[in-house]
Amino acid sequence: MQLSGKTILVTGGTDGIGRELIRQLKAKGANIITSGRNPERVAATQAEGFEVIAADLSTPAGIDALIAGVAGRALDILVNNAGAGSDHDFREGPPDLADNDACLYLNVNAPVHLITRLMPVLRARPEAMIVNVTSGLAIAPRAGGPIYCATKAALRSYTQALRVQLEGTNIHVLEALPPVVETKMTAGRGNRKMSAPDCAAAFVRAMEANAEEANVGMVKLLKLVHSLSPALARKIMIRF
């Protein structure tokens, strides 16, 4: 897809992969609308010249705020990038169920709601795209992050089914599967991390190529191992 001139809504674009993604998409000539929930990061992103809608997508009110913010606008691409992790490890103590619920809503409900409510807008464009950001952990989980892994596996399944539903329409569906990337969310998680700019660049290339999947960095190897032996992939990743 030619990205120049396209209007793109990127959720969670004020930090991490999302921040690098909106910068690179803007450099391609796209018109960017993004969202964020941290007031300081929202202000910083606005200071860079981006249109930012303040919305906490872990709540129904946040979904409503974002939909209201783009009402009446023509959107060519929806990138469901916003996401968060949530501790749920009984080896370390009782999980915080409220935090788990917020993670489940942000990572699964929010993309489903946004796709559903923005589908008429996307259908009205000559060509459109939905990009759902999942994770290599959607392929095989790690023991320390079962809630996050479950949400990304759920979004992966949803994306695969959605792609079949939209076959033959003007809407292309892309799943982006990043590896462990250097962001605030992965602080303390080892040293072999991909940079956010490099990860975002891989997403952009996949969008331009109309790819169905963007298996980024080490996820390519994980996909290969999983194709040969799902059990081996699970064994490797469960203690990652």
65 — phi, psi (to 5°)? Answer: -65, -40
Sequence-distant (≥ 6) Cβ neighbours of residue 112 within 8 angstroms: 158
Q: Which of the residues 50, 105, 148, 203 is marked catalytic?
A: 148
Class of residue 239 by CB neighbours under 10 A (exposed 0-12, middle 13-18, buried 19+): exposed
Tokens 């409220």 locate to 98
Buried b (16+ CB within 10 A) or exposed e, 166-200: beeeebbbbbbbbbbbbbeeeeebeeebbebbebb
Class of residue 26 by CB neighbours under 10 A (exposed 0-12, middle 13-18, buried 19+): middle
158 is catalytic: no
Measured distance CA(177)–CA(154) in Å, rounded: 13
Strand partners, 8: 32, 77
As annotated, the active-site residues are 148
